[in-house]
Structure 1
Amino acid sequence: MTRTITGEQQAFVDAIRDFVRRECGSRERRLELTDGGARTHSDALYRKMAGLGWLGVGLPEELGGAGGGMVDACLFLEETAYGMAPIGGHGPSRITAGVYQRFGSEAQREAVLKRYCDGAVLSISMSEPGAGSDVGAVTCRAERTADGWRINGQKTWCSNAHFADSILLIARTASGGDKHEGLTMFHVPAGVPGLAIHGIETMGGSEVNDLFFTDVELPADAVVGQVDHAWRQLMGGLNTERLILAAMMLGTARRAFDDTLGYVRQREQFGRPIGSFQALAHRIADLATELECCELLVYSVAAKVDGDPARLLPREASMVKLKVTETAKRVALEGMQMMGGYGYATEYDMERHVRATVVSTIYGGTSEIQREIIAKTYGL
């Protein structure tokens, strides 16, 4: 690939690649780390990365991070995804950590970000049975009490809540007027009384959950940011959220492409490698070109974020999420087609690439929502 990075950043990439090859470079080792693939996250592997300071890349040193910017964070996200490192808790954790960095109190940042950099998994809960793409339809209720807040309601599709250190909850604190007003963020520690977590089985395994809040009591200082202003706070983090998801899928797409390329070079039919047939060779050429475009877009947006972290980039953030996830899905599906039955077999990684990329066009804002946002930035 052709990304332009410094010598120090290249050394960082080389270190990640070497680590991933040694620690989880084989399918057998990855299965060993995840109970045969039943889990998406290896706590042991994750904490080794934390010990190297890698989880804090892109976070300020004064907050417990390792410094650097979004380009550095994207390099880590891309390379660990390419290496298929089983750290499924990292993407949502990095997104959630960014919220605490921007809006948390000094005490919250000190506690939550330090735990994250040390290897704790964080989770964020927005969606509800009746509020998916329409976040303004949230009904999970937070009511003031004499000592703080009482939470009641249901959330769904909450990634990694079943093993998270804490959950960042978006709940309704006021009604009437604009539906996007009256939402507030709350810090919810794991194991708080009244919270029930029920896993949702998916194609990707045990990743997401239903959350049921029944008279959950939170202290007054559990509010993250300002009361009734969660929507504005969420909008302030879209640059990094969508960029994080895109960087991860860039790594997965590159891996699916390389797996496909290796297969079509070696697999022979009709007396020659199948990659020598024009039908497949042209597919490879098209996919390689699309991946090149995705890489340029990811690191262009990351550089813009580093250049002005406070600047909102709704168009660019939606473009990068839309382009990379849709391309990743295409690469994986084309790879499965070119590998034939072997692409569908669970003994190969391609079927995992397909499952990972298909859902990427749904979570973090569907492709349809990204197109709507992009169109609105053009006055449509």
Structure 2
Amino acid sequence: MSLQLTDEQQSMVSTIREFAAKECGTREQRLALTDGGRTHHNSQIAGKLADLGFLGLSIPEEYGGAGGGLFDACLFLEEMAYNQIPLGSFGVTLIVAHIYLNFASEDVKKEVLGAVVAGTPTAVAMSEPGSGSDVGSLRCKAEKVDGGYRLNGQKTWISNGHLADHILLVARTSDSGDKHQGITMLSVPVATPGIEIRPIATMGLEVNDVFFTDAEVGQERLVGVEGQGWMQLMAGLNTERVIVGAIALGQARRAFEDTLAYVKTREQFGRPVGTFQALSHRLAELATEIECTRLLVHDVAQRVDENPGKLMPREASMVKLKATELAKAAALEGIQMMGGMGYTVEGGMEEQLRAVLPGTIAGGSSEIQRDIIAKTLGL
């Protein structure tokens, strides 16, 4: 295994950067593509990236993808975040796509994965008002009926719910036994009668409440094995946490480089503020942390590719913990070092801070990641 990029991977990264420079390289372009910064996904940009083959890098060729590995997808995600390409839906979409890839029927794979490769977002519905970090406590019901399932309950904090054609619902089909038993995955078309999606007002994250009221889907919408949804979720944690880590790495790089550029030109007391040791040493530490995190993210992504069936709870949690906390630290340092300009919309760093903050919470908070790592140490 080598952490050096192949010629093909280097070419791919260069192409992404060229695309970003042309399509969304200026703040004015990005504002025009995101309704003045109020949205994070642009369908036209998604379509163009789909045409270039970037949205199916880790999807097998039989479903329209390129047949590459998770590492290839992570390189794209890292550059997407670094270059601020307005494709905020894609991280979650790719996480869900890999669950479909591992567990869905062939018909459902062709339906959903084909749409993902073509640029259509998808979503997963796990969290509930009373069930966040403790996913096993979920109460949304999938009652068995003739030919399928009747769905009732509420899901919350659902990314992409307003954009997706399908939602991967994680619901309870049985209350017997351990709380982690009786959990089932279903692929639910958003157009199904009985589904209501309501946006949640936040400081920038686009999430939704999703309500199911006697919504019915057929047996063919089952993803994997009924009652085995918990184990299926656990099997996907390597992919999920490495994907989140790759995005956070790109965000950290962007915050660092924007801060560095600012302190090199902003002068006080007759010289650039970055030349003062109070700032230069902190930037040196950030540069070191970014390089360490890059090596960690790239290494674990390649190890997942080499051992696709192996659970790596320690390594995957380390990736998510380290990368998301670093992205937050880099943006906060940017705010501090840019002073008043860091708080302005024009400065751009406040937008970056809003973008990185959910990373330490969504998909398993930093506290949960530390718990997982500690358990692997026998604590």
TM-score by length of 2: 0.98
2:236 alignment partner in structure 1: 237
Counterpart AA for 1:115: A
1:344 alignment partner in structure 2: 343
**Counterpart secondary structure, 2:131:** coil
Offset, 1:176: 2.2
What's the CA shift string for 1:269-296, capped at 9, x where partnerless?
Answer: 0110000100000110010011011000
| Structure-2 separation of matches of 1:46 and 1:3 | 29
1:225 alignment partner in structure 2: 224
Matches within 5 A, 1:104-253: 104-205=104-205, 207-253=206-252
Counterpart AA for 2:59: L
What's the CA shift string for 1:194-218, capped at 9, x where partnerless?
Answer: 111110011115x100011100011
| Structure-1 separation of matches of 2:3 and 2:308 | 21
Matches within 5 A, 1:50-69: 50-69=50-69
Which blocks of at least 5 consecutive residues in structure 1 are unaligned? none
2:266 alignment partner in structure 1: 267
| Structure-1 separation of matches of 2:377 and 2:256 | 33
| Structure-2 separation of matches of 1:349 and 1:99 | 35
1:255 alignment partner in structure 2: 254
| Structure-2 separation of matches of 1:88 and 1:251 | 13
**Counterpart secondary structure, 2:157:** strand
**Counterpart secondary structure, 2:185:** strand
Counterpart AA for 1:177: G
| Residues 3 and 299, structure 2, Cα contact 8 Å, conserved in 1 | no
| Structure-1 separation of matches of 2:297 and 2:49 | 23
| Structure-2 separation of matches of 1:144 and 1:63 | 30
| Structure-2 separation of matches of 1:12 and 1:98 | 21
What's the CA shift string for 1:210-233, capped at 9, x where partnerless?
Answer: 011100011111110000000000
Offset, 1:58: 1.3
| Structure-1 separation of matches of 2:26 and 2:181 | 49
**Counterpart secondary structure, 2:209:** strand
2:22 alignment partner in structure 1: 22
| Structure-2 separation of matches of 1:149 and 1:177 | 21
What's the CA shift string for 1:230-282, capped at 9, x where partnerless?
Answer: 00000000000000000001001100000000000000001100001000001
| Structure-2 separation of matches of 1:256 and 1:209 | 27
**Counterpart secondary structure, 1:251:** helix
Offset, 1:110: 1.1
| Structure-2 separation of matches of 1:73 and 1:233 | 21
Offset, 1:3: 5.3
Counterpart AA for 1:324: A
What's the CA shift string for 1:90-121, capped at 9, x where partnerless?
Answer: 01100000000000001111111111101111
Percent of paired sites with the same residue: 57
| Residues 197 and 211, structure 1, Cα contact 8 Å, conserved in 2 | yes
| Residues 82 and 252, structure 1, Cα contact 8 Å, conserved in 2 | yes
**Which segment drifts farther, 61-70 or 4-13?**
61-70
Counterpart AA for 2:168: L
| Residues 257 and 331, structure 1, Cα contact 8 Å, conserved in 2 | yes
**Counterpart secondary structure, 1:202:** coil
What's the CA shift string for 1:108-161, capped at 9, x where partnerless?
Answer: 111111111011110011000000000000000010111211000000000010
Counterpart AA for 1:337: Q
| Structure-2 separation of matches of 1:324 and 1:153 | 34
| Structure-2 separation of matches of 1:190 and 1:128 | 18
**Counterpart secondary structure, 2:282:** helix
Matches within 5 A, 1:59-98: 59-98=59-98
Counterpart AA for 2:365: T
| Structure-2 separation of matches of 1:86 and 1:146 | 43
2:360 alignment partner in structure 1: 361
**Counterpart secondary structure, 1:212:** strand
Matching of residue 298 in structure 1 with residue 297 in structure 2: yes
1:5 alignment partner in structure 2: 5
| Residues 256 and 331, structure 1, Cα contact 8 Å, conserved in 2 | yes
| Structure-2 separation of matches of 1:83 and 1:138 | 37
| Structure-2 separation of matches of 1:7 and 1:146 | 54
Which blocks of at least 5 consecutive residues in structure 2 are unaligned? none
| Structure-2 separation of matches of 1:54 and 1:239 | 21
| Residues 140 and 172, structure 2, Cα contact 8 Å, conserved in 1 | yes
| Residues 3 and 295, structure 1, Cα contact 8 Å, conserved in 2 | no
**Counterpart secondary structure, 1:67:** coil
